[in-house]
Copies of this chain bind each other. A is one copy, B any other.
């Protein structure tokens, strides 16, 4: 019976979430009211708040959903490609694809995520599991590739690539071009550049500066 009750609750939880996401998508975050979500889902406002402590919590759930979808979408890319550039390009494009339906209201999401006090901040302690999972994807990008790099840079690279993705997301939320063409172009051009930049570390003079940069990042993370 506990299972039945839990299953029912889980059903309601999902109903509320999917309704909220649909309304967010259709009319944006700001214009979607908790009253409207509850009404559209056929539940009471109190019930919506029973499952999601605030409107932001619904956003948090959306964030988690996105990441799950990204991890799935990335599998065929990592299975098929063995070179660094197509692997990274594919992973970044996969993110664009799963996020596409929410591009219009992603700005609002970004707004909440940028608050350092918010648990939704990608740098927050609460986001650590999600962040680690995301970094793990980039570690797979690096480890499964043909990239030849000094060990310390190689171990730091997944987090640097995560930062790169944060930058691309920042660009993406501001991108108003049709089908986010400009963001796609950015990825297609930036990834080969990053690749060339990494290969430059073979030059001794460059190597020293890169080592210092890695050292700075390490010390700053602590």
Contact = CB atoms under 8 A, between A and B. Distances in A.
Contact of A189 (B111, B173, B216): B216
B193 A212 contact: yes
B193 A216 contact: yes
Interface residues of A, number: 34
A189 B216 CA distance: 7
A197 B209 contact: yes
Contacts of A186: 216, 220
Interface stretch (A5-13, A94-102, A114-122, A142-150): A114-122
Contact of A118 (B111, B115, B121): B111
A36 interface: no
A67 interface: no
Interface string A190-222: 100100110010010110010011001001100
A154 to B, nearest CB: 19
A174 B209 contact: no
25 contacts: A107-B115, A107-B117, A108-B115, A110-B114, A110-B115, A111-B115, A111-B118, A113-B114, A114-B114, A116-B173, A121-B174, A123-B174, A182-B220, A185-B219, A186-B216, A193-B212, A193-B213, A193-B216, A196-B209, A197-B209, A200-B206, A200-B209, A203-B205, A203-B206, A206-B206
